[in-house]
Each structure stands twice: as C-alpha cells, then as structure tokens.
Amino acid sequence: MPRNNELFERACHTIPGGVNSPVRAFRSVGGTPRFIKRAQGPYMWDANDTRYIDYVGSWGPAILGHAHPKVVKAVQEAAVDGLSFGAPTEAEIRIAEAIVERMPSIEKVRLVSSGTEATMTAIRLARGFTGRPKIVKFEGCYHGHADSLLVKAGSGLLTFGNPTSSGVPAEFIQHTIVLDFNNLHAVEQAFKEAGHDIACVIVEPIAGNMNLVKPVPGFLEGLRALCTQYGALLIFDEVMTGFRVGPQGVQGLTGIRPDITTLAKVIGGGMPVGAFGGRADIMEHLAPLGGVYQAGTLSGNPVAMAAGLATLELLSEPGFYDRLAAQTRKLTEGLTERAHAAGLPFCADSVGGMFGIYFSDTVPTSLAEVSQGNIERFKKFFHAMLIHGVYLAPSAFEAGFVSAAHDDAIIQETLDIAEQAFAKV
C-alpha cells in the first residue's frame, strides 16, 4: 500500500494526525488508513485501486450503497441551480414534511448541518423549555463533540464526571450526570436526588458508538416514564439509527415517543446534514419564535436536501427494510457460525441495517461489557479481513452497516474471507 502510506505521511504535515476525524487514523487497530478515491454500490477503492467490500458506509448514510444513480442525479440537478443561497428553499419544506410524516414524535423540525449541531441544540432547547440546568447521558453513548457531552462517568452514582477531552473546563460539565447504559435503577436514583433540576435525558436508543448495544427490555420505557413523571424531556439521538434500523427509526420499532429527536446521516444521503425535531410546543421555543437561539449559514443546503429527498423516496419502496434486515442477519449469523467452527468465543447482533461483532461469549449490554471483549482478537480479525478486501470499522467500539447493495453474492464472499480470517485470529 505505498500510495496510502505516501498520502498519510503527506497528510500528517498539514492535518493533525493526518485525518479529519480521529477514528479514521487506525490508531485503535494499528496500521495505515486507506485513502479512498471512489465508491460504488457495496465497494470502495483506495488510492492503490484496491477494492474493498465496505461495511462502514460512511458511518451509516450509504444505506442504498455508494453513489446510487438516482441520488447522484438529484445532486447534479440541484448543483446546477446553485450550491448555497443563505435563504429559504422549497426543498427545505419538502424534507421537513417528509420527516414529520415519517417520524410519529416529530411535529416540527429544524434543519442543521451535522449531528453534533443537532444534539447540541436539542439540549439547549430542552434547557430553555424546562428552565433547568442538568442533563443525563449514558457512558458509551456519543452525541457529538459539544463541550458538555465530552464527559466520562464519575466513580459514584451522582458523581459528576471528568472531561474526556482537553480544552473542556470542568465547570462546563458540572451539570452533566453520566450513568451506565441499560441501568434504569441508576436513572431512578438520579431523578430522586436531582429530578427537579434535570432538563433532559439524552440517549442513543440503540447505541452504535460503543459497538452495537441494544436497550434491555424496560429500559427505554422506564426513561420515558421517569421523564414524564419529573417533567424532564426525553431526547432520542437517532443520528445513526434514524431511517437506518426501520422506516421510523427506533421509536417506530419500540412505540416509545421521545420529546425531541435528533437526526443526520441517512436524511442527507451522504451529504453533510443534521436535524432535530419534536413536539410543536417545544420547537416553538426556538428563535425566531422563542428565546432559544440557533442559526446556521448552510442549514437546509439545497444540494444536501436534494440528496436526502431522493434517498428517503427510495427507502419508501415496499419491503426495503425487511430485505435490508434479512441481509444483515445473513452476515451476522454466517460470521458467528464460522467463528464458532474455528473454536473462537464470538457473537454478533443486528437490527435493521446495523450490526455488531464481539469477540466474547455473550452480546454486551453496556460499555463495560463491550470493553471485556477480546480487543486483540478484533484487531487481528480486522487486518485479516482488510488485507483480503473487506473494510470493517477500524475500532472494536463501532457498529457496522449493511446497504441495499450488499446482495447474497457479496455476503457470501465476505463470509468466505471471514472463514480464512478467523483461522488467523
């Protein structure tokens, strides 16, 4: 991979760490990151023209596969009319209407440019609506890199955590309570101690940033009940899961309605985008109607709106999500079968087009359990797959993604490569 090495060395001269998002640097698995020059369907090609079956999918947005012709055409047609206006467009209304129509909890929606911007503003809105300072989040759930969210759990139940990033003063996170995912008892105790100061609970309803971790039965229901009881808002961070795991996200699968939902990734079809929405009475606290300020020069960018609208239209085809979920299960079940045949402790899980693989005997339910898996085996497996043309997330703490372009032949090729890879782990 001389060309990838050359580009990485060159990038390190002008870009911190040689990458513009940390996980791309391959630090957690070792080796040199692949510099991608093009992608089509289920495949990506790196700077050496080496082809990979891609299970990252731009971290979720490529649900149709890369460069779907209808999405590309929509982007091309929009770009001809101008790249950005800084003024309203009809496309913004159309995608807002599409989101409201599909997501049962959303009555009004504000478009932004990233998932971080969406979650950051959703929390500001929750504080402005309730007049309360504190928020509850869960260890292992990532909600973007806003200061108050870059925090690790403290040692005690209500011990406020420590910043997990330099440059974040401790006082910025003094109102952030960090608890264990799937531990409803801890949430109950937190509300008993500080319930009338808690503005919101923010959660990935199915976590994808500590690998794939599902909620245990009763956890999300319990969060909804506690927020209702104490007058706090429940925020579902569906940046990753929205339109990924089903036509209405996790809330469609569970029937649980949050007060605010954050979205990104799929709704932009691969273009930079984000959104947050919820009950009308909450959303009307946003400027220019209310006192909670948010603005963005590129919010509702017309090219991103075109990509998102084309994507959402294709996702509406009958049976799309059933087919996607079935292909994802073929992958996870096939990987598990081959790992066990090789005598390895291994398990896998999936929902919709998301999956997780774990070098452990049982599917984890928290960050602590994910961390107990055999990370060294994952690293060896990652590189054995990569060298034979399968691109997985370069971290044992990230979910994987299957697209509609991953047909039976692609899944079988992946499993054949995995059989060889497991023998080397």
Task: List beta partners, residue 39.
Answer: 44
What percent of the residues of the chain are helix, what percent strand, and what percent coil, each to the nearest 5? Answer: 40, 15, 40
pLDDT bin (cut points 50, 70, 90) of residue 136 is: very high
**Residue showing tokens 């990033």:** 165
How far is residue 289's CA from residue 403's CA, in Å, rounded to a whole number? 40
At 148 the pLDDT is 83
Where do the H-state alpha helices sit in 131-218? Answer: 184-194
At 150 the pLDDT is 83
- List pLDDT tens digits, range 299-310: 999 999 999 999
Catalytic, out of 134, 137, 265, 379: 265
How far is residue 401's CA from residue 392's CA, in Å, rounded to a whole number? 9
**What are the phi and psi torsion angles at 279 (to 5°)?**
-60, 145
Judge whether residue 100 has pLDDT over 90. yes
Mean pLDDT of 340-351: 98
pLDDT bin (cut points 50, 70, 90) of residue 158 is: very low
Domains of the chain: 2-67+318-422 (3.90.1150.10), 70-315 (3.40.640.10)
Mean pLDDT of 239-244: 98
CA distances from 11 to 5, 44, 195, 332 (A): 10, 20, 48, 35
How far is residue 339's CA from residue 318's CA, in Å, rounded to a whole number? 34
Mean pLDDT of 3-29: 94
At 162 the pLDDT is 64
Judge whether residue 408 has pLDDT over 60. yes
At 1 the pLDDT is 61
Please check whether residue 18 is in contact with residue 8, taking contact to mean a CB–CB distance below 8 angstroms.
Answer: yes
At 154 the pLDDT is 47
**Residue showing tokens 């406020």:** 160
- List pLDDT tens digits, range 114-132: 999 999 999 999 999 999 9
Task: List beta partners, residue 66.
Answer: 41
Nearest CA to 349 out of 380, 376, 325 is that of: 325
How far is residue 47's CA from residue 67's CA, in Å, rounded to a whole number? 18
Q: Is 424 marked active-site?
A: no
Catalytic, out of 54, 237, 259, 349: 237
Lowest mean pLDDT among 58-67, 160-169, 220-229: 160-169
Q: What is the DSSP string of 209-274?
A: SSSSBPPPTTHHHHHHHHHHHHTPEEEEE-TTTTTTSSTTHHHHHH-PPPSEEEEEGGGGTTSS-E
pLDDT bin (cut points 50, 70, 90) of residue 165 is: confident
At 153 the pLDDT is 57
Largest CA distance in the chain: 61
Give the tokens for residue 56.
Answer: 């990252």
At 155 the pLDDT is 38
- Of the chain, the end-to-end C-alpha distance in Å amounts to 22
Instruction: Report which secondary-structure segment, H or E, holds 151.
Output: strand 151-152
CA 136-237-335 angle, to 5 degrees, is 115
Q: Is 265 marked active-site?
A: yes
Judge whether residue 275 has pLDDT over 60. yes
How far is residue 255's CA from residue 241's CA, in Å, rounded to a whole number? 15
CA atoms within a 13 Å half-sphere pointing along the CA-CB vector of 22:
7
Task: List beta partners, residue 40.
Answer: 43
Q: Is 330 marked active-site?
A: no
pTM attached to this predicted model: 0.96
- List pLDDT tens digits, range 289-298: 999 999 999 9
Catalytic, out of 43, 52, 55, 142: 142
Judge whether residue 161 has pLDDT over 60. no
Pairing of strands 134-139, 176-180: parallel
Mean pLDDT of 64-88: 97
At 149 the pLDDT is 86
